[in-house]
Amino acid sequence: MSQTHAVKQETTAFKVGVLLNSIFIVLEASYGFASGSLALVADAGHNLSDVLGLLISWLAIWLGTKSANAKYTYGYKSSSILAALFNAVFLLVAIGAISVEAIQRLANPGPVAEWDVIIVAAIGVLVNGFTAFLFMKGQKHDLNIKGAFLHMAADAGVSIGVVIAGFVILKTGWFWLDPVISLLIAIIILIGTWGLLREAMNYSLEAVPNNIDQVKIYDFLMSQPSVNQVHDLHIWGMSTTETAMTVHLCRNTLDHNNEFLESMNKQLSEQFPLTHITIQIELGKVDYETTDSSI
């Protein structure tokens, strides 16, 4: 699949996801306030943060298609990293708001319109589940899309929990269960957000992406017959889908240098998920005391 086709598919997924979830937020919040269900109001607030996150992720994908210029020589590819980081921050804010309100409501639980809760939450299962499905394929290779997928998948799971809680309240009259479910929602969001935040922070700090084994790349480079030293090996994510690598290779000969570089670029891109490779060739060995070596 070409990158252009993939971007079109992802754009369609964001359009559908934002539209469906925006409609559902209005429905869920309205019924939540009308029925006195904090679980529905909390989930609506979470869904609102998800829509904002979807919009930011969508913007990042659009920016990623823009060409490089004299100021942004890599283009705007790293905007997808910022989008993933913003998504994680949005969710942390939502967790705090939901938790504070749930604790207050737990001290003074009130009546809940059980059937309203059940019906609206059931609609949420369908909306969030379908939206998550739209991002299922893309989340395997893009942290930005993964953030959208995890949000929607978590929402679907949370909505299932709200449905179950509604039936339990209907049978038992345990109104305290509504704020308890809200706290469980916050915990579920926190678990899903923590991994996203950690990975987004790693990208922001230009750490080696999780799908890259730097040691294997180093060993591969050192295994080349004419290479006697590898230094200044740097690997970082240019975006949530593209990885850059720069390295200095010391060779014992400069014979057939162009052919060697061409072969190295081809083999590295085929064996490792690297998209931008820069190799500098040096003759002999380099004194590490005067060189900034990363490995």
> What was the pLDDT predicted at 218?
95
Fold classification of 214-290 (topology level) = Alpha-Beta Plaits (3.30.70)
Instruction: Name the pairing type of β-strands 243-251 and 276-283.
Output: parallel
Beta carbons of 104 and 1 less than 8 angstroms apart: no
Q: Which own/partner contact pairs does 255-263 have at CB distance under 8 Å and 24+ positions apart? A: 257/281, 260/226
CA dist 122 and 54 (Å) reads 22
Which sequence spans correspond to the domains of the chain?
A: 3-204, 214-290
Q: Which residues contact 214 (CB under 8 A, 6 or more apart)?
A: 208, 233, 235, 295
pLDDT truncated to tens, each residue of the chain (295 aa)?
Answer: 455 656 677 788 888 888 988 898 888 888 778 877 766 776 777 677 778 778 888 888 888 778 888 888 888 888 888 888 887 887 788 788 778 877 877 777 766 666 777 888 888 889 888 988 888 877 667 777 877 787 788 778 777 777 887 888 888 878 788 778 778 877 877 887 888 888 889 988 889 998 899 999 999 999 998 899 999 999 999 888 889 999 999 998 888 889 999 999 999 999 999 989 999 999 877 765 545 555 6
Q: Among candidates 138, 179, 141, which has minimal Cα distance to 162?
A: 179
CA dist 12 and 209 (Å) reads 27
Beta carbons of 131 and 20 less than 8 angstroms apart: yes
* Tens of pLDDT, residues 251-294: 988 888 899 999 999 999 999 999 899 999 998 777 655 455 55
> What was the pLDDT predicted at 132?
87
Beta carbons of 139 and 199 less than 8 angstroms apart: no
Select from 1.20.1510.10, 3.40.50.2020, 1.10.10.10, 1.20.140.10 the CATH code of 3-204: 1.20.1510.10
> What was the pLDDT predicted at 73?
81
